[in-house]
């Protein structure tokens, strides 16, 4: 079982950005925290276009869940997509 305090790198891709980023997170962090880190990491290149939501392996993740609960491991790829007004949230 991963240690909640150990940092793990993830590959992140934000909708509207042309570059991927590496973010450091902890297994006990929430998916919402990961979304915030991705937005912060790309803020110079990408303006938010709605609520940022994280996807992994093609599935939209629950922002209240933890990365461990969602099965996210070091070096996994995650994508941040924008839920625009009028789009239903999962």
Q: Cα(37)–Cα(15) distance, rounded to whole angstroms?
A: 14
User: Which residues 6+ apart lie within 8 Å of 67 measured at CB?
Assistant: 25, 26, 27, 28, 29, 30, 31, 34
CATH number at residue 35: 3.10.20.270
Structural domain contains residue 33: yes
Domain count along the chain: 1
Structural domain contains residue 54: yes
Among residues 29, 35, 42, 22, which one has the least CA distance to residue 82? 35
Q: Cα(37)–Cα(50) distance, rounded to whole angstroms?
A: 16
Mean pLDDT of 15-33: 97
Structural domain contains residue 12: yes
pLDDT in tens, 32-88: 999 999 999 999 999 999 999 999 999 999 999 999 999 999 999 999 999 987 656
Structural domain contains residue 89: no
Supply the range of the domain harboring residue 11: 7-83
Structural domain contains residue 88: no
pTM for the complete prediction?
A: 0.89
Q: What is the pLDDT of residue 86?
A: 64
Strand order in the sheet with 77-83: 20-26, 7-14, 77-83, 51-56, 59-60
Q: What is the pLDDT of residue 88?
A: 60
Structural domain contains residue 64: yes
Structural domain contains residue 2: no
Q: Given pLDDT bands bounded at 50, 70 and 90, which one contains residue 5?
A: confident
């Amino acid at each position: 079982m991963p240690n909640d305090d150990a940092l793990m790198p993830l590959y992140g891709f934000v909708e509207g950005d042309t570059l991927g980023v590496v973010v450091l997170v902890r297994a006990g962090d929430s998916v919402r925290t990961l979304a915030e880190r991705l937005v912060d990491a790309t803020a110079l290149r990408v303006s938010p276009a709605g609520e940022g939501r994280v996807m992994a392996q093609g599935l939209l993740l629950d922002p209240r869940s933890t990365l461990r609960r969602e099965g996210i491991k070091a070096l996994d790829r995650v994508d941040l997509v924008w839920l625009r007004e009028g789009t239903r949230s999962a």
